[in-house]
Amino acid sequence: MPAITIALFDTDTPLRALREEIRARLSEVLERGVYILGPEVEAFEREFAAYLGVRHVVGVANGTDAITIALRALGVKPGDDVVVPAFTFYASAEAIVNAGARPVFCDVDPATRNVTRETVSAALTRATTAIVAVDLFGSPAPIPEIRELGLPVLEDAAQAAGAALGGRRTGSLGDAATFSFYPSKNLGAFGDGGAITTDQDDVADLARALRFHGSRDKRTFEYVGYNSRLDEVQAAVLRVTLPHLDSWSERRRAAASAYAAAGIEPYVSPPAVLPGAEPAWHLYVATHSRADEMIRGLAEQGIGARGYYRVPLHRQEAMAPYAPSAGALPATDELARTNLALPMSPALGPDQAAQVVAALAALRPVLSSSARSSPGPARA
């Protein structure tokens, strides 16, 4: 197997130019000697709120806690049902169980890979008190339409920092939204980190208390909460990288356009985006009916590719108590089998995109084009 020449993602190259600035900021934190809930977190919360156009940002320890805390802050109680797509990272559903509620899995649109108003509607029960809509792979979900269903919508924007829909940034579309700053995310820290964003004062206030053991004054405890804070080191790094997020997202969009310009379409089914959406392309995920063979064939040509969520959430062992009836989520099952993520990063130039497409073309005699995956419309 040759060495990988075009990696699936590249978080290092974009950060290289910022190393000196990050070192300087980290040494300021060291000099100050304040590591938890200090001026860096406060400033980052203000700056990220301004970037997103929301009233509040609450920094927490990771994107999973962010979902659990945000759901509780939105009023989700033990015994409630919360709708969530089955095609997403495990944490989107795990966090619902950790909030004491029951995940109800819904299907996704096979072309956008995201939930729709219809797939969510089909999963609503009398006990549903909230909906988790994921901006999967950095592509905005149709959250304004889903909000028309009249239930609180939590936007899981973990993968979508830098995206927008209808001119509004992802992370500002739901009643509240959550982010992960895991290092490989589009806005990544140097360890774990996360945030809750909202325009609603009461939701932000409760989330702030819940991240600190359910306390507002650090002496009296109104709720059983969490020890879940963004730390000063991570906030300091994020304050350096946030001003670059838009240019990195532009470069990711240019890379996606370069795939189209290089003629990727006959070889795989590329991802579709909603009208008015500007995806952040956390991952560029195509489909092909023989995806795993294609991934192996690309690796043999030095190109990183990977299938995501091959075992979707409703088929994970820990989610067995919440699994719907067999065959209930056909688009999820099909996507889980046929998806393949192709290289994507702000550092991926048009020549590399063309090289990936050439590698796909070279596989054509082996994997006939008639085997392209076209999973058809979503059915819930």
Residues that bind ligand PLP in the complex, under the rule CB under 6 A: 62-64, 88-89, 91-92, 134, 156, 158-159, 180, 182, 192, 194
| Closest residue to ligand PLP using C-beta atoms | 63
DSSP string, 3-62: PPSB-S--SHHHHHTTHHHHHHHHHHHHHHT--BSSHHHHHHHHHHHHHHT-SEEEEES-
What does the alpha-carbon distance between residue 296 and residue 101 come to, in Å, rounded to a whole number?
Answer: 40
DSSP 231: B
Shortest Å, Cβ 95 to ligand PLP = 7
Q: How far is the CB of 76 from ligand PLP (least distance, A)?
A: 16
Nearer to ligand PLP, 159 or 249 (CB): 159
Question: Closest distance between ligand PLP and the C-beta of residue 73, in Å?
Answer: 16
Residues 6+ apart with CB under 8 A from 17: none
Give 92 or 114: the residue with its C-beta nearer to ligand PLP. 92
Smallest distance from the beta carbon of 84 to ligand PLP, in angstroms? 10
C-beta closer to ligand PLP: residue 132 or 262: 132
Q: Which is nearer to ligand PLP, 159 or 289 (CB)?
A: 159
Q: Which is nearer to ligand PLP, 37 or 158 (CB)?
A: 158
With DSSP H G I counted as helix, E B as strand and the rest as coil, what are the percentages for the chain, rounded to 5?
40, 15, 45
Q: Measured from the CB of residue 115, what is the shortest distance to ligand PLP in angstroms?
A: 12
Q: What angle do CA 183, 200, 98 make, to 5 degrees?
A: 55
Cα–Cα distance for residue pair 188/373, rounded to 1 Å? 32
Q: 297 with 367: CB under 8 angstroms? A: yes
Q: Is the CB of 128 or the CB of 159 nearer to ligand PLP?
A: 159
Name the minimum Å distance from CB 180 to ligand PLP.
3
CB of 301 to ligand PLP, least distance (A): 28
**Element containing residue 129 per DSSP (H, E):** strand 128-134
CA distances from 20 to 25, 47, 234 (A): 9, 21, 16
Judged by beta carbon, residue 62 or residue 355, the one nearer ligand PLP is 62
Q: Of the two residues 238 and 264, which places its CB atom closer to ligand PLP in the complex? A: 238
Report in angstroms how near the CB of residue 18 gets to ligand PLP at its nearest.
21
CA-nearest of 187, 193, 183 to 170 is 187
Of 365, 353, 369, the closest CA to residue 262 belongs to 353
| 222 alpha carbon, distance to own chain's centre | 32
The answer for residues whose C-beta is within 8 angstroms of residue 63's C-beta and 6 or more apart is 91, 156, 158, 178, 179, 180, 181, 182, 185, 194
